[in-house]
Amino acid sequence: MDEGVTTEVEAALRPGHVLRAEDITGTAIDDLVDEISPRLPVFLDHRGPDERTARSVTTEVLDALEQILLDLFPTWLDGEPGQLLDVDEAVYAARELCHREGLVTGVVLDLARAAASRSAPRRTQAPELRAAGLMGLVRHAYRRSAVVLAVRASAEMSTASQRAAAAAYEWLAEHGHVTVWLTSDALPLIDRIPIVRLGLGITDRAGEEPGGRAAASDQPVLLVSRPVGAPCPNSRAEQALEAALARRGWARDRIWNRRPADLDPLAPAVVVDLLWTAQRVIVEVDGADHRRADKYASDRARDNMLQRHAYMILRYTNEQVLTDADLVADELRDILAARSASASAHRPTQLEENTWTTRS
């Protein structure tokens, strides 16, 4: 995402407010969530309310956000993905974090204790404190100063449900100190919401359904920006593969969700799911959307570009990883070992290097 687009996004950041982003569609939200630019806010993509009360909408968002943070643990305590912390270590680190960053102590301690003990959070804080604490911890986890809750919803909701949803998003904006963006067609009967245009220039993909819960039934109700250096909390498959790799010493040099550093600077920006730099091995974990024609074509073009830079690209479906993550991990072990051996075999010996230097 270029600097001009980022500037447009920054101009529409108004923490505590709900805005209608007139030119934002589900496609644009998908692309923003997939970005890893540190200049962008953290994007939370809510897949839309249905016929429910305001309280149930806010509870759904906060519960889903809590689960995202549990999946990101212990990275927000400055730990490595897959690192094991006992409860005392996690609570001590959480206290230090709250003291240093001014976060809501009760919320952060509750999450740290639950994550380390693999138990359910107690949720003893008032909803207002919970909203402030969870959103603050998201900002810290991503090292970004702003959060945008982007909302796509069916335009066919009843008037009462649209009013309830609007009240819920206004509450979340105020108490979470975030900006809420409604897509152009979300909650159309609510006319008190200011309109902004972002000028992103993203158009809907052919054949894609409008935003809303029905159009994304295979996705979690709340997605979050792709994290740098950690498996995506939106992806059960990435989480399962990380759990399998964390137990294996040979996998320690893995890097999640990064851009390879040695690509042509004029080439389109590429973020890969999993990378071993030394062996030049890239692993992509593909959801069902990668079977879509435009996504398939984009993947092939990306793979070709990466292969020209001597990367090996391995693609696994979500189903393959979730069915047997250990089998996938074992295959990766064998491939990495073979790549390392091949690189060693082709590396010049000291004598060869000296001979080449003499000839030069």
Confidence of residue 207 (pLDDT cuts 50, 70, 90): very low
- The tens digit of pLDDT for each residue in 92-105 reads 999 999 999 999 99
Return the pLDDT at 37. Answer: 86
Give tens-digit pLDDT for 105-144.
999 999 999 999 999 999 999 999 999 999 999 999 999 9
On the question of pLDDT at 351 being above 50, the answer is no
* Per-residue pLDDT tens over the stretch 244-293: 999 999 999 999 999 898 887 776 778 999 999 999 999 999 987 777 77
Q: Which amino acid is at 260?
A: P
User: Could you tell me if residue 196 is left (phi over 0), alpha (psi between -120 and 50 degrees) or otherwise beta?
Assistant: beta
What does DSSP say about strands 281-286 and 272-276: parallel, antiparallel, or unpaired?
A: antiparallel
329 closest CA partner among 283, 269, 261, 266: 283
Name the residue type at position 31: D
Q: What is the pLDDT of residues 280-318, one digit of tens each?
A: 999 999 987 777 777 888 889 899 999 999 999 999 999
How many angstroms separate the CA atoms of 76 and 141, rounded? Answer: 5
Query: What is the DSSP code string of 306-329?
Result: HHHTT-EEEEEEHHHHHH-HHHHH
User: Token pair 């409860």 is at which residue?
Assistant: 87
Length of the chain: 360
CATH topology of domain 236-346: Endonuclease; Chain A (3.40.960)
pLDDT at position 61, please? 96
Is pTM beyond 0.95? Reply is no
Contact criterion met (CB below 8 Å) for 177 and 146: no
Q: What residue spans define the domains of the chain? A: 3-224, 236-346
What tokens were used for 245? Answer: 């790799």
